[in-house]
Amino acid sequence: MTSSYTGNRREIQWKKIGSRKLKDTIAKGLSYVVLGMMVVILVSIFIYILDSGASHITLTMLITPGNTATGGILNAIVGTWELVGMGLLFSLPPSVLGALYVVNGRSNGTLSLVARLFTDVLTSVPSIVIGLFAFIVLVQRLDMGYSLIAGGLALAVMMLPYLMRIIEISFRNIPKEQIENAYALGADDIRVASRIYLPQAKVGMLSGILLAVSIAAGETAQLLYSAGWNNNYATGFTHSGVGYLTYVVWNGINYPTTYSHYLAFVSAMILILSVTGLIAISKYIGRRQ
Amino acid sequence: MKATNRIFNFFTFLMAIVPAVALISIFVFVFQESLPLWKFSGLSFFTTYLWNPGFQYQQPIIVHGILAPPGAQFGLDLFLLGTLSTSALAILIAFPISFLITLNVELYLPARIKKFMVSMIELFAGIPSVVYGLWGIIVLEPILFRNVEPWMAQHLSFIPGLKGEIYSGAGLIASGIILSFMIIPIVTSVIVNSFDSVPKEVKEGLFSLGATKWEVGKYLTTRYSRASTVGGTLLGLGRALGETMAVLMVSGAVTNILPTSFYSATNTMSAAIASLLDSALTDSTRMDLAALAALGVVLMAISLTVSLIGRKIAGRGSLRGYEGD
């Protein structure tokens, strides 16, 4: 009697474990399939873009300016880095100083929290709305026209919150004792900032800057109506449109000639290489820290 | 010495509120630009899907005290529907994938390649939006048009919305797929981070009670750190709502034609702003620009609300949901 009961129970338990194990096996298999599928998709996008770019690239494209249908893309390559540089110029100083305020123990806690909340929220403003804002205020009201400054500021609005957060985190990684010691020795905030925060967080800041640059280099929506476009190089900071690579991809693929498609492919290849290259360098530097 | 320090501190404070000033001025200026539209259209902006800039070469007329081209009519329904449906589809695709990827890298995959796999998935976020658009036009759309959508129309037509004509690969399905690629890294990294922050004792406790890996994974993501899972998904949704270029390139960018099935071309608020602003500049009454600014205001309100809720939920920490259950 007793033995048959135990046997029964064992059987039930065994079945239960069996079905649970089966579920686990299914989940395991499915998760491998999904991960593998995503890796295949990612690799295939990369290979496709790199292959179609590499098979249509010519030297002329790289050394002449053009209008996305004829000529080359040198004006777009130069313009992309001009815009990103301008964006960095406008966003880096406020990011560093703002992050100093947020980590400074003496600043008002509530204000720091509010500042950080707004910084977070700013990252979720749609990029086209930033572009629209830049168009309404900078291009039209301040009468800059499509220009390097308008495009750079539009990019800066997007880079600012990323930079500020990353720099803040690299400031917070500095050992607290070191900062407290400096204050105890009578250093003021300026000295602590210039002798401890900035030199100690150098590597983390550089990694953050590279990441922000990589994001900015791939942006389009902010620039359409702030930087505009230029078939040649920008001639000044205002009232002169700027070309950029993402525009060539967008316009080139919508323009019905084979050569414009080639220009789009080559631009996409350059973009994907520079963006992922920057991300890789940024991660490598960040890991060594 | 003290004075310079005080000036320095005040200066850092000014710089710390630059993001707040930027955010508020974006909202104020875009809203101000949209004011004529609210006077012109009123609530009908929310109740019609027709978008018509009017006859711009005729004498402007005065409607509700506002100068506008004759025949002008603006409604956001088509764009709102497109934004919501493409983002919803993107989340429907992205969430299960992110969930399974998290389970895999956390529980099944050998620990030494976990980091490599996570950074690989994060690379999806590094691909510029226009490059996704390019890939979508050249690779994805033809596959959808020739293979996937005809199969769906034939075999899945019992599901409402999956029956109907196939026009081209561009539309809701292509947009949803591309958007899901863009948000999978966001959702995945939030869920993976919350999984990593679960105390070792909890994980080991579950295993010692005889739970299988699947049960541990399911419990931790849907119960123990449910808040982070939901919050991360909402952050992804916020990103999808505002995405512009990729969707502009693969959505079909229609105006004035409501979708009849999942295969129809669509359009979103952000894509509409990007594609219609150029022609809006020819409107001398600036009404067309005001209408696009109004789209921007609504879009910004929606995506900021979603992201704020997401941040709030995720910020409550991974312990929530554990105490209750």
The answer to whether the Cβ–Cβ distance between A126 and B139 falls below 8 Å is no
Residues of B whose CB is below 8 A from A130: 26
Angle B206-B207-B212 from CA coordinates, rounded to 5°: 105
Backbone torsions φ then ψ of B266, nearest 5 degrees: -140, -170
Q: For residues B55 and B72, what is the distance between their CA atoms, to the nearest angstrom?
A: 7
Q: For residues A139 and B239, what is the distance between their CA atoms, to the nearest angstrom?
A: 26
Crossing angle for the helix pair A2-54 and B111-126, to the nearest 10 degrees: 40
Q: For residues B60 and A222, what is the distance between their CA atoms, to the nearest angstrom?
A: 31
For B190-206, give one letter per residue: b (16+ CB within 10 A) or e. bbbbbbeebeeebbeeb
The answer to whether the Cβ–Cβ distance between B245 and A220 falls below 8 Å is yes
Which residue has 């759309």 as its token pair?
A: B141
The answer to whether the Cβ–Cβ distance between B29 and A136 falls below 8 Å is yes
Which residue has 């080991």 as its token pair?
A: B204
**Confidence bin at B69 (pLDDT 50/70/90):** confident
* pLDDT tens digits along B205-240: 988 888 888 888 888 888 888 888 898 899 899 999
Q: Helix (H, G, I), strand (E, B), or coil: what is residue B112?
A: helix
Rounded to 5, what percent of chain B is helix, strand, coil? 70, 5, 25
Residues of A whose CB is below 8 A from B134: 49, 249, 253, 264-265, 268
Q: What is the pTM of this model?
A: 0.90
Average pLDDT over residues B162-186: 89
Spell out the per-residue pLDDT of chain A, length 289, in tens: 344 444 455 554 555 677 888 888 999 999 999 999 999 999 999 999 999 999 999 998 999 999 988 899 999 999 999 999 999 999 999 999 999 988 886 666 778 888 888 888 898 899 999 999 999 999 999 999 999 999 999 999 999 999 998 899 899 888 889 888 998 998 888 888 888 899 989 998 999 999 999 999 999 999 999 999 999 898 888 889 999 999 999 999 989 999 999 999 999 999 999 999 999 999 888 876 5
Q: Which residue out of B2, B4, B5, B15 would a mutagenesis test of the A interface target, given it has the greatest number of A Cβ atoms within 10 Å?
A: B15
* CB distance B161 to B261 below 8 Å: yes
The answer to whether the Cβ–Cβ distance between A115 and B238 falls below 8 Å is no
- Examine the pLDDT at B61 and tell me if it is beyond 60: yes
Which residue has 């999978």 as its token pair?
A: B184
Amino acid symbol at A21: K
Distance from CA of B266 to the nearest CA of A (A): 18
The phi-psi region of residue A266 (left if phi > 0; otherwise alpha if psi is between -120 and 50; otherwise beta) is alpha
How are beta strands B66-68 and B61-63 bridged, if at all?
antiparallel
Predicted local distance difference test score (pLDDT) of residue B23: 95
- Examine the pLDDT at B143 and tell me if it is beyond 80: yes
Distance from CA of A53 to the nearest CA of B (A): 12
- pLDDT > 90: what percent of chain B? 43
* pLDDT tens digits along B279-305: 888 888 888 999 999 999 999 999 999
Question: Which residue of B108, B127, B277 is in closest CB contact with A31?
Answer: B108
* pLDDT tens digits along B80-139: 999 999 999 999 999 999 999 999 998 898 888 888 888 888 888 889 999 999 999 999
Find residue A66's DSSP bridge partners: A71
In whole angstroms, how far apart are CA A130 and each of A112, A208, B30, B110? Answer: 24, 22, 9, 43
C-alpha count within 13 angstroms, C-beta hemisphere, residue A179: 21
A273: closest chain B residue by CA = B127
Residues of A whose CB is below 8 A from B128: 217-220, 246, 249, 268, 271-272, 275
Residues of B whose CB is below 8 A from A24: 212-215
Nearest to B307 by CA among A112, A215, A129: A129
Alpha helices (runs of H) in A104-241, residue ranges in sequence order = 109-122, 127-133, 148-172, 176-184, 189-192, 198-200, 202-217
Q: What is the dihedral of CA A237, A241, A244, A249, to 10 degrees?
A: 170
Q: For residues A13 and B272, what is the distance between their CA atoms, to the nearest angstrom?
A: 59
Residues of B whose CB is below 8 A from A125: 23, 26, 242, 300, 303-304
Q: For residues A242 and A155, what is the distance between their CA atoms, to the nearest angstrom?
A: 13
Crossing angle for the helix pair B287-315 and B269-280, to the nearest 10 degrees: 160
Q: For residues A276 and A284, what is the distance between their CA atoms, to the nearest angstrom?
A: 12
Q: For residues B30 and B38, what is the distance between their CA atoms, to the nearest angstrom?
A: 13
The answer to whether the Cβ–Cβ distance between A271 and B128 falls below 8 Å is yes
- The number of residues in chain A equals 289
The answer to whether the Cβ–Cβ distance between B13 and A137 falls below 8 Å is no
B246: closest chain A residue by CA = A250
Amino acid symbol at B146: R
A218: closest chain B residue by CA = B128
Tokens standing for B289?
A: 């620009």
Q: For residues B69 and B50, what is the distance between their CA atoms, to the nearest angstrom?
A: 15
Predicted local distance difference test score (pLDDT) of residue A2: 42
* CB distance A79 to A244 below 8 Å: yes
The answer to whether the Cβ–Cβ distance between A220 and B17 falls below 8 Å is no
- Examine the pLDDT at B161 and tell me if it is beyond 90: no
The answer to whether the Cβ–Cβ distance between A31 and B30 falls below 8 Å is no
Predicted local distance difference test score (pLDDT) of residue A108: 66
Backbone torsions φ then ψ of B128, nearest 5 degrees: -60, 150
- ipTM given for this complex: 0.90
Q: For residues B252 and B264, what is the distance between their CA atoms, to the nearest angstrom?
A: 8
